[in-house]
Amino acid sequence: MDARTATTSPGTGTSAVRTGATLMAVAAAGFVGYAALFLARNFGDSFLELGIGPGEVDVGKDQIRQFSPSLYHYISHLHLALAGFIAATGLAVLLLALYGVRAGHAWAWVAAVAAPVLGLAVALPAHYPWNLDTLGHLGLVYLAMLVFVAGALLSGKGLLDARATGPSRVRDHGPEE
């Protein structure tokens, strides 16, 4: 057993790690919920994303369909694909937080943080040049991000503190265990 291998069993993380991981999981569940809203709006009368209305886009579902049925289907396909990827990322982060971070795995913390950071780093900047950054559109995402960041900071500090007190408090080896 090398110095990086823990001698404790999963689930023995510190209170900060457990609480932070729970906050991360709650935020990840929020991402899954946002994806469900996204999916429902695609099939509902609103069609456009949550918080996007006539002030941002001057046509609706019927006008898009009348203008170009193929464009309508293309936009619908993008909604479905994006909802799927948001839900998949949320589920992955939720499971990483609950079963990896809570168990004290530093690699799980890195993966749980990196996935939404990458997604949001790509997606968020596209909202600002065209004034699609409404509170109704991004408010739930920002709320989930705040909860997630609080959880990531809390659990990350807990993992670092546990590492400083000895290898038996944190599990930082990879998933090949």
Q: Do the beta carbons of residue 112 and residue 24 sit within 8 Å?
A: yes
Is pLDDT larger for residue 96 or for residue 48? 96
Domain assignment of residue 110, yes or no:
yes
Domain assignment of residue 2, yes or no:
no
> How many other C-beta atoms lie within 10 A of the C-beta of residue 156?
19
Domain assignment of residue 145, yes or no:
yes
User: Average pLDDT, stretch 73-79?
Assistant: 95
Domain assignment of residue 64, yes or no:
yes
Domain count along the chain? 1
Each residue of 136-163: pLDDT tens digit? 889 999 999 999 999 999 999 999 998 8
Domain assignment of residue 4, yes or no:
no
Domain assignment of residue 10, yes or no:
no
| pLDDT tier for residue 31 given thresholds of 50, 70 and 90 | very high
Is pLDDT larger for residue 92 or for residue 42? 92
Domain assignment of residue 44, yes or no:
yes
Domain extent for 22: 15-169
Residue 164: predicted pLDDT: 84
What is the dihedral sign for C-alpha 21, 22, 24, 28? positive
Residue 64 scores a pLDDT above 80: yes
What span, in angstroms and rounded, lies between the C-alpha atoms of 44 and 94?
28
| pLDDT tier for residue 87 given thresholds of 50, 70 and 90 | very high
User: Average pLDDT, stretch 79-96?
Assistant: 97
Residue 50: predicted pLDDT: 87
Each residue of 91-118: pLDDT tens digit? 999 999 999 999 999 999 999 999 999 9
Domain assignment of residue 7, yes or no:
no
Is pLDDT larger for residue 89 or for residue 131? 89
Place of tokens 């799927």: 84
Residue 168 scores a pLDDT above 70: no
Closest to 144 measured CA to CA, from 54, 78, 80, 50:
50
Q: What is the 3-state secondary structure (H, E, C) of the chain?
A: CCCCCCCCCCCCCCHHHHHHHHHHHHHHHHHHHHHHHHHHHHHCCCCCCCCCCCCCCCCCHHHHHHHCHHHHHHHHHHHHHHHHHHHHHHHHHHHHHHHHHCCCEHHHHHHHHHHHHHHHHHHHHHHCCCCCCCHHHHHHHHHHHHHHHHHHHHHHHHHHHHHHHCHHHCECCCCCC
